[in-house]
Structure 1
């Protein structure tokens, strides 16, 4: 052995553009990013919840903890605005509140609804809105563990919930083809939109609060004027099998995920598809989520994969005139 051969340099870990894919043991229904740290939560069809840290350094993303408290499929997860709590809802009809740091179950509302819960929105630190498979919307005071609104105006499942910046109007999208409008300040139902063709799968507020967009199972996006909730002001047919999940990225641009496994970037008004952000080839996408800095979009699909896509260029796009 010659002594003057240089020792091998340790290989620097590779830096990727996006975190590596994560493969789970079951189909993931729901994803949410932490508001302050490089952490995300995922809920799967077995009722398990996973919390991961993510990084662009190869091999650095890792599972922090997992929880099997739900008895059936976890349908939705959401972090509190301070990032210390994680809320989840399930097919088992329960609402759970967990401590993000250690994954400890803090509060369980076991029979929160009489049928499986499908949608969840955090209004503020203590107020939670939930929507179920039968079309009932409930709004909870988590300090008391009781609901102060319990209203059924939809004939089918509630697929999505959104709220305006003033925290006054709650909007619901439903499988019955309507959008529901609820006044949370006055604790009352306001109106349902006209029926649209297909299930409304998702709802988002865009254009600095002036427009509301709903995705549909037919692949059409329905656009409403704020305060003109009865009838659509515009519609846009995306050449996709369906628009199952929408996430606003800027005031005018959203990402839409579809049954065909493709995630598209879409500009609203003028309406046009800007391009494909990524895809799970041939696998229906369950949900997409945007990281706190709008750098990444994460997606989960029937391939049991969580994938990350770089969407940083969307923030810098000049709005289309």
Structure 2
């Protein structure tokens, strides 16, 4: 897919949840929408300028019919996606510029501003339904935990906070200790049980919900610059529960596997321009990942090429060593332990052709036939031996020892 020129710096992007339609919020205050197809063709659908001030953040309704835009003008504008017109404006929604928005429920929208104030909005009402003032610096990102109906916010004041949207209290149910660094991005992994936070110094901080929100349980160094944005990959890819996309101020969009920590590759390169936002289309389950920086273009990268090419390469490498691996034969207990220990193994499942994915998904009764087992087991044993030292160190402790030269080759 060729880059889509937009004519100004892009602060945020959002995808329609069901259609190949992408929106961009620009420095000029303009909001642009583009349609695209699998052949790499694109076309501008509409361009509207609800404010002369910069548009910093966008959010899309659950059905994709409405788009909310906000930014330096302090107002929240509602745009009809079908017509491309502004249908409603909440003037002075915040007292200072709005930095981040997120739709958390069909009729609930969260917004955070430069002073750390968080507001909850019912789009059917003019005034905010809730206001939180416990942060004192800009709100950088939001995460929605649907199982608990909780909103998690990260802030430049070095803390994250958890708010129960069902409670009428104007205070969070939990707030972390000062992490002594700006928290810039947040993402859930491992089925929502662990939370990854990107920081200003390039460290990924891991919070475990079972251990509470007071402090992180792991700190994973490696990125050479700030981690401004995090994004999950589609669930159809192997190890999707522990593989994330990271956008850094060094201009590189990386695919990183956690537990064990491993750089899978570079997804997109924005040169010297910091990456502001990344997102995957079709509600996070699509083919394209969009990324924007300061170079006035919107990049759409094909995830199939990134992950499936890697699977093919790994499969070729594994195929050349089948004879030697077979000598390790009847030790099936090792591979079983590895499977139960983590869904994020050393990309073992990524090496299996699509038709054999069930063999690596947990070793359960689906693939009970004995002729299927010899192929995946040798691959796992080979990868287990290569990564064994790193796995041993982390097993049972939630610890990962990453070398300082984690991304040195990039």
TM-score, length basis structure 1 = 0.90
Distance in 2, Cα, partners of 1:56 & 1:21: 14
Q: Tell me which residue corresponds to 1:96.
A: 77
| Larger Rg belongs to | 2
Aligned counterparts of 1:255 and 1:155: Cα–Cα separation in 2:
29
SS at match of 1:82: coil
Q: For residues 75-130 of structure 1, give each alpha carbon's deviation from its aligned partner in whole angstroms, at most 9, with x where no partner exists.
A: 11121111111111111101111111111212211110001000101012221000
Counterpart in the other structure of 1:15: none
- 1:37 matched to 2:19: yes
CA distance in 1, matches of 2:22, 2:73: 23
State whether structure 2 residue 257 is matched by structure 1 residue 267: yes
1:154 to 130, 135, 143: 135
Q: Distance in 1 between matches of 2:228 and 2:280?
A: 15
The equivalent position to 1:206 in structure 2, one of 189, 212, 218, is: 189
SS in 1 for 2:47: strand
Q: Is the 8 A contact 2:258 2:344 kept in 1?
A: no
The Cα of 1:167 is off from its aligned counterpart by 5.8
The answer as to 2:286 corresponding to 1:294 is yes
Is 1:232 matched up with 2:222?
no
SS at match of 1:208: helix
More helix by share: 2
How far did 1:51 drift?
0.5
- Please tell me whether residue 308 in structure 1 is matched to residue 308 in structure 2: no
For the residue of structure 1 that corresponds to 2:191, the secondary structure is helix
Q: Distance in 1 between matches of 2:224 and 2:302?
A: 21
2:205–2:216 CA contact under 8 A, matched in 1: yes
Query: For the residues of structure 2 that align with 1:180 and 1:136, how far apart are their CA atoms?
Result: 12
Map 1:145-184 to 2 at 5 A: 145-166=126-147, 168-184=149-165
Q: Which residue of 2 aligns with 1:87?
A: 68
1:28 and 2:10 correspond: yes
Where structure 1 has 5 or more consecutive residues not aligned to the other structure, the ranges are 1-18
Q: CA deviation at 1:134?
A: 0.2
The answer to whether the aligner puts 1:196 opposite 2:221 as a matched pair is no
Q: Contact 1:253–1:314 (CA<8 Å) still a contact in 2?
A: no
Which structure has more strand as a fraction of its residues? Answer: 1
The CA distance in 1 between the partners of 2:222 and 2:167, in whole Å, is 36
Are 1:320 and 2:312 an aligned pair? Answer: no
Deviates more, 1:125-134 or 1:223-232: 223-232
Q: 1:167 to 1:111 in 2, by over 3 A?
A: farther
How far off its partner does 1:276 sit? Answer: 1.1
Alpha carbons of 1:167 and 1:140: their partners in 2 closer, same or farther (altered >3 Å)? farther
Range 65-74 or range 158-167, more displaced: 158-167
Report the alpha carbon displacement of residue 153 of structure 1 after superposing the two structures with TM.
Answer: 1.0
Deviation, 1:195, is 1.5
Contact 1:159 1:175 in 2 (8 A): yes
1:271: how far off? 2.5
Contact 1:86 1:100 in 2 (8 A): yes
Residues in 2 aligned to 1:76 and 1:234: alpha-carbon distance in whole angstroms: 30
Would the aligned equivalents of 1:172 and 1:180 in 2 still touch at CA under 8 Å?
Answer: yes
Matched length: 302
The alignment's C-alpha RMSD in Å is: 1.7
TM-score (norm: length of structure 2): 0.71
Specify every segment of 5 or more residues in structure 2 that has no aligned partner in the other structure, as ranges: 234-239, 312-342, 347-410
